[in-house]
């Protein structure tokens, strides 16, 4: 019986050696500092803060906004819980807006329609390594004087028209969870492209709400509690692992490309049957590979056959606006329109395994199950 996971980090001797050599268990150590400087340079941002997860990066960004009761934040419902829970934790009211078919990111027209005088920000998600319509949404945010936060958990090192995703808005949030293209086990990155004030405040929020970073730089002679914050660190051990994953990234991406191309060769005839196959633009990081089946019944049937054969294919996000938490707390949220695309995609999407060490024989095996299912 085969056992093919949905994702698998590519971690070998180099990573473990790098951890052993790190010789430092603390946070804000030499390796983390060097890696932060590297990310700042590579992404072209004012400040890159290594944190414990993308969830933490989102929470810090939302805390920075200093929300007042009734303040609204626009976000998708087709997303991971953290995109929305970080808004609620910071005292904001999530306003769910639908996604568009093409990118599976927020629909810019519906974003603009949802804006009112309580709107403070938009949190968009770049799904599966494909850019949402970030340029259009940024223009809308500038026009309405609201902030833009990019949940780029799945979109590290993806460029859109020459600019990295996560660097368009006030904040970009990335994940290095072990399901992501590069990993530190758990981990995340908060980037602040331009705003000097946000740099100082977010450094404090990451460090228990104290001005310890200023103290460490020698700018003040003691450090004290300045604001509400938390313990939002990545350790040097994790940073050492991450650094060697960054070095390996060209190979990781090349292998993902191989898997993506092979799937396409094998499965393209499904398009004749009106099954949609994920189409990534050349700059994508190929984080996810999915099919959009013709109905929920068909998706569930295919999923079952794949799983019975040891292939850990999966559905994806369940709409957040229909979750038990939202149903129990309806007053904390605003839902715009019917969110039809969100509901429809959630019912019909099926993710296939994609990771660097996925063998050609395994791709053939997975593809043949799918082609048999569709009798093509």
The backbone torsions φ and ψ at residue 147, rounded to the nearest 5 degrees and listed phi first, read -85, 155
Among 7, 27, 61, 82, binds ligand PLP (CB under 6 A): 82
Taking alpha carbons only, the member of 260, 309, 310 closest to residue 284 is 260
The backbone torsions φ and ψ at residue 93, rounded to the nearest 5 degrees and listed phi first, read -110, 110
Nearer to ligand PLP, 52 or 193 (CB): 52
Taking alpha carbons only, the member of 96, 94, 162 closest to residue 131 is 162
DSSP-derived secondary structure letter, 225 = B
| 244 binding ligand PLP? (CB under 6 A) | no
Among 7, 22, 53, 61, binds ligand PLP (CB under 6 A): 53
* 3-class secondary-structure state, position 312: coil
CB of 95 to ligand PLP, least distance (A): 17
Taking alpha carbons only, the member of 103, 100, 111 closest to residue 75 is 111
**Which listed range, 50-58, 239-247, 270-278, 353-361, lies at the site for ligand PLP (CB under 6 A)?**
50-58
Per-residue x/- marks for ligand PLP, 118-157, CB under 6 A?
-------x-------------------------x-xx---
C-alpha gyration radius of the chain: 21
CB of 64 to ligand PLP, least distance (A): 17
CB of 320 to ligand PLP, least distance (A): 11
Nearer to ligand PLP, 54 or 366 (CB): 54
Size of the site for ligand PLP (CB under 6 A): 14
Strands (E) located in the chain: 47-51, 72-76, 93-97, 119-125, 147-151, 159-160, 163-164, 171-175, 188-192, 276-277, 289-292, 334-335, 349-352
Distances in Å between the Cα of 334 and the Cα atoms of 6, 62, 80, 90, 114 are: 33, 18, 18, 16, 10
CB of 54 to ligand PLP, least distance (A): 3
CB of 154 to ligand PLP, least distance (A): 5
Nearer to ligand PLP, 55 or 210 (CB): 55
Beta bridge partners of 335: 96
Among 4, 45, 54, 122, binds ligand PLP (CB under 6 A): 54
| 238 binding ligand PLP? (CB under 6 A) | no
Q: Which tokens sit at 150?
A: 């990019």
Nearer to ligand PLP, 76 or 193 (CB): 76
Among 47, 120, 177, 321, binds ligand PLP (CB under 6 A): 177
In whole angstroms, what is the distance from residue 9 CA to residue 337 CA?
39
Among 39, 64, 80, 96, binds ligand PLP (CB under 6 A): 80
Cβ–Cβ under 8 Å, residues 264 and 277: yes
Beta bridge partners of 73: 94, 121
Nearer to ligand PLP, 82 or 167 (CB): 82
Among 7, 160, 175, 207, binds ligand PLP (CB under 6 A): 175
Nearer to ligand PLP, 29 or 128 (CB): 128
Q: Interface residues with ligand PLP (CB under 6 A)?
A: 53-55, 79-80, 82-83, 125, 151, 153-154, 175, 177, 188
């Amino acid at each position: 019986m085969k056992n093919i996971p949905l994702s698998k980090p590519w971690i070998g001797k180099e990573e473990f050696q790098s951890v052993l050599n790190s010789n430092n268990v603390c946070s804000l150590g030499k390796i983390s500092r060097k890696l932060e400087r590297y990310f700042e340079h590579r992404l072209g941002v004012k400040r890159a803060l290594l944190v414990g997860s993308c969830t933490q990066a989102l929470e810090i960004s939302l805390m920075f906004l200093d929300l007042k009761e009734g303040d609204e934040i626009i976000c998708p419902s087709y997303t991971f819980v953290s995109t929305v829970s970080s808004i609620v934790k910071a005292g904001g009211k999530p306003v769910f807006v639908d996604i568009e078919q093409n990118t599976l990111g927020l629909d810019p027209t519906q974003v603009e329609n949802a804006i009112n005088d309580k709107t403070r920000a938009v949190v968009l998600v770049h799904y599966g390594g494909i850019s949402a319509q970030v340029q259009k949404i940024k223009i809308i945010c500038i026009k309405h004087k609201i902030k833009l936060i990019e949940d780029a958990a799945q979109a590290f090192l993806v460029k859109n028209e020459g600019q990295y995703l996560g660097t368009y808005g006030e904040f970009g949030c990335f994940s290095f969870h072990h399901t992501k293209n590069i990993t530190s086990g758990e981990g995340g990155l908060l980037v602040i492209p331009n705003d000097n004030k946000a740099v100082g405040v977010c450094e404090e929020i990451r460090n228990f709400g104290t001005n310890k970073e200023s103290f460490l730089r020698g700018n003040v002679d003691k450090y004290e509690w300045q604001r509400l914050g938390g313990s939002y660190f990545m350790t040097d051990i994790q940073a050492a692992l991450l650094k060697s994953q960054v070095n390996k990234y060209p190979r990781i991406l090349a292998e993902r490309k191989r898997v993506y191309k092979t799937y396409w060769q094998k499965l393209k005839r499904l398009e004749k049957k009106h099954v949609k196959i994920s189409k990534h633009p050349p700059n994508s990081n190929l984080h996810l590979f999915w099919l959009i089946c013709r109905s929920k019944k068909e998706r569930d049937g295919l999923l079952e056959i794949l799983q019975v054969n040891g292939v850990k294919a999966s559905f994806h996000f369940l709409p957040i606006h229909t979750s038990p938490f939202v149903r129990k707390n309806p007053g904390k949220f605003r839902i715009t329109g019917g969110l039809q695309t969100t509901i429809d995609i959630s019912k019909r999407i099926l993710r296939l395994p994609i990771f660097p060490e996925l063998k050609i024989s395994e791709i053939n095996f997975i593809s043949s199950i799918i082609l048999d299912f569709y009798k093509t």
